[in-house]
Amino acid sequence: MRSAANQQARRMESAGFTLIEVLVSLAIVSMVIAALGTLFARSGRVYTTQNATAAVQQEVRAALDIITTEARMAAYNPTKAKPKISERIAIRSATATRFHFSTDLDENGKAAAAYNGDGECENRSFRFSLQNNGIQMLCGEGTGSPSSEFLIGGTNSAVRVVALDFAYRDKENNPTSLSSKIRNVIVTIVAEAPAGQRGMIRRAYTTSVDIRNAGPNT
């Protein structure tokens, strides 16, 4: 009888788990779940950061492309005309946060106050708006009612411009503050975007623009 009882007990033990085995299993499962949770959280943070970085890069590059395209035509004066001061074709103002120039795109010997007859802007400027954390592109600055749009940033944009810097160089590649001597403009944009728990992700981008047409026209 005792032998039969012992055999029955051994069969019951082999068919189930001991308390220690259950506790060990639970501990292992808990560690696996914790590890997976950490992995998923880390993956989520990486994904959010990558998205924020991509957004900043995309918007800054788009803004730099427009600035580059427009600035290359600064002081374009194919007829070599010397119009009156209000229609002059030149770099009109060049500061660290503002670049203002005119151009003769329709080749009629003067710069329009804003848009020419073909709808092209011949009085262009770019400037940093600290209040709206963006870069404004204007047409018709100095006319009293210029048109304006944000290239990047602004009140409704997730991407914020922290800084815009224009640096100017002459034909010898030396720094200059004289509009008539500018032959190259180095444009730097620093922008940021929210990246979840990491806060704000910030990036800086720089490009160089040759101003082949620049020079006095008087």
User: Is the pLDDT reported for residue 55 higher than 80?
Assistant: yes
Q: Is pLDDT larger for residue 142 or for residue 3?
A: 142
Mean of the pLDDT values across residues 162-184? 95
Kindly state whether residue 153 falls inside one of the protein's structural domains. Answer: yes
Kindly state whether residue 28 falls inside one of the protein's structural domains. Answer: no
What pLDDT is attached to residue 155? 80
Kindly state whether residue 4 falls inside one of the protein's structural domains. Answer: no
Of the pLDDT bands very low, low, confident and very high (cuts 50, 70, 90), residue 196 is: confident
Kindly state whether residue 185 falls inside one of the protein's structural domains. Answer: yes
What pLDDT is attached to residue 48? 64
User: Is the pLDDT reported for residue 161 higher than 90?
Assistant: yes
Kindly state whether residue 27 falls inside one of the protein's structural domains. Answer: no
User: Is the pLDDT reported for residue 169 higher than 90?
Assistant: yes
Mean of the pLDDT values across residues 50-67? 90
User: Is the pLDDT reported for residue 170 higher than 60?
Assistant: yes
Domain span including residue 178: 47-210
Kindly state whether residue 136 falls inside one of the protein's structural domains. Answer: yes
What pLDDT is attached to residue 218? 36
The CA angle 96-98-102, to the nearest 5 degrees, is 130
Kindly state whether residue 69 falls inside one of the protein's structural domains. Answer: yes
pLDDT in tens, 111-136: 999 999 999 999 999 999 988 999 99
Mean of the pLDDT values across residues 83-99? 93
Both structure tokens of 174:
């030396």
The one-character DSSP state at 196 is G
CB 211 within 8 A of CB 183: yes
What pLDDT is attached to residue 136? 96
Residues 6+ apart with CB under 8 A from 207: 64, 67, 68, 186, 187
CA distance linking residue 12 with residue 36, whole number of Å = 35
* HEC readout, 18-57: CHHHHHHHHHHHHHHHHHHHHHHHHHHHHHHHHHHHHHHH
The total of structural domains in the chain comes to 1
User: Is the pLDDT reported for residue 15 higher than 90?
Assistant: no
What pLDDT is attached to residue 38? 63
Kindly state whether residue 1 falls inside one of the protein's structural domains. Answer: no
